[in-house]
């Protein structure tokens, strides 16, 4: 049940949401540096908790030096921090963010449902479009919509700071082949350091899903979780933007 509920983060929670934070050059999805240091979750973001999981990751807005960031602390716990937002990837194909971890999760294994934890992840989900899926998948999506009231995303890119997998590794999520894990950082060598990332989500999507059609982005999430391994992890997430 825990694994199934975790999988829901990937397959059901995102739908279209009114856009804010748009400029002609970029969309600021996570304006964490511009928030006051008040300890609360920034506007437009919400915590996603799972029924059946007693411990939830604690997400707090804090100052790192003089810059606002999101701190995530997990002790045998799991939950995500999400924002639902519609973005056209043909106009804003590049996602940029920075992250930092305090420690590595030595016993985690992203290929195994029973050990599928990570110090830091950034999710980008893509909107479900019934015209882009076969009849069997369409039936599955419509069933989910009946029970949950939202159409699920058709696919998800999960950018991960892994523990052992090599940088550049791409694998299916153990929960669904519609979610692809892309390892951007790995191991403890850079722990305690801010690391900046920049990814072309159009190129990534076309490559890992073997397609030339990229749906609309429907949401962004961050997640630090240790519920499967029972470990402890602290990580930080900086601003998240989409640009040309």
Domain ranges of the chain: 2-243
At 172, list the tokens.
């299916």
At 145, list the tokens.
């919509």
pLDDT at 22: 53
pLDDT at 21: 53
Count of CB atoms situated within 10 Å of the CB of 89? 19
Average pLDDT along the chain: 84
What whole-number distance in Å separates Cα of residue 173 and Cα of residue 186? 17
Q: Encode burial over 54-80: b for 16+ CB neighbours within 10 A, e otherwise.
A: ebbbebebeeeeeebbbbbbbebbbbb
**pLDDT single digits (tens) 138-195:** 444 444 443 344 555 678 999 999 999 999 999 999 988 889 999 999 999 999 999 9
Does domain 2-243 fall under CATH 3.40.190.10? My reply is no
Closest CA to 165 of 175, 176, 157, 173: 173
pLDDT band at 131 (very low <50, low <70, confident <90, very high): low
pLDDT at 134: 54
177 Cβ contact list (under 8 Å, min separation 6)? none
At 87, list the tokens.
């973005």
More confident residue, 225 or 146: 225
pLDDT at 135: 47
pLDDT band at 197 (very low <50, low <70, confident <90, very high): very high
Does 99 score more than 60 pLDDT?
A: yes
Closest CA to 229 of 78, 11, 93: 78
pLDDT at 143: 41
Residues facing residue 222 across a β-bridge: 81, 122
């Amino acid at each position: 049940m825990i694994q199934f509920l975790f999988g829901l983060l990937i397959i059901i929670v995102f739908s279209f949401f009114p856009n804010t934070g748009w400029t002609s050059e970029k969309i600021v999805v996570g304006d964490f540096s511009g928030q006051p240091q008040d300890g609360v979750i920034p506007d437009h973001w919400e915590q996603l908790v799972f029924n059946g999981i007693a411990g939830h990751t604690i997400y707090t807005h804090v100052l790192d030096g003089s810059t606002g960031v999101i701190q995530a602390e997990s002790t045998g716990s799991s939950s995500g921090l999400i924002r639902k937002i519609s973005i056209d990837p043909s106009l804003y194909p590049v996602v940029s963010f920075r992250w930092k971890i305090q420690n590595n999760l030595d016993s985690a294994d992203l290929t195994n449902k029973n050990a599928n934890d990570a110090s830091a992840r950034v999710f980008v989900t893509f909107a479900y479009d019934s015209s882009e899926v076969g009849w069997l998948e369409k039936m599955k999506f419509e069933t989910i919509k009946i029970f949950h009231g939202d159409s699920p995303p058709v696919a998800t890119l999960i950018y991960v700071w892994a523990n052992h997998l090599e940088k550049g590794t791409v694998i299916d999520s153990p929960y669904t082949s519609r979610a692809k894990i892309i390892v951007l950082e790995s191991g403890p060598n850079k722990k305690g350091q801010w690391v900046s990332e920049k990814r072309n989500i159009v190129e990534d999507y076309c490559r890992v899903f073997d397609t030339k059609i990229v749906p609309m982005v429907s949401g962004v999430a961050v997640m630090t979780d240790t519920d499967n391994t029972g470990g402890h992890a602290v990580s930080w997430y900086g601003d998240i933007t989409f640009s040309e």
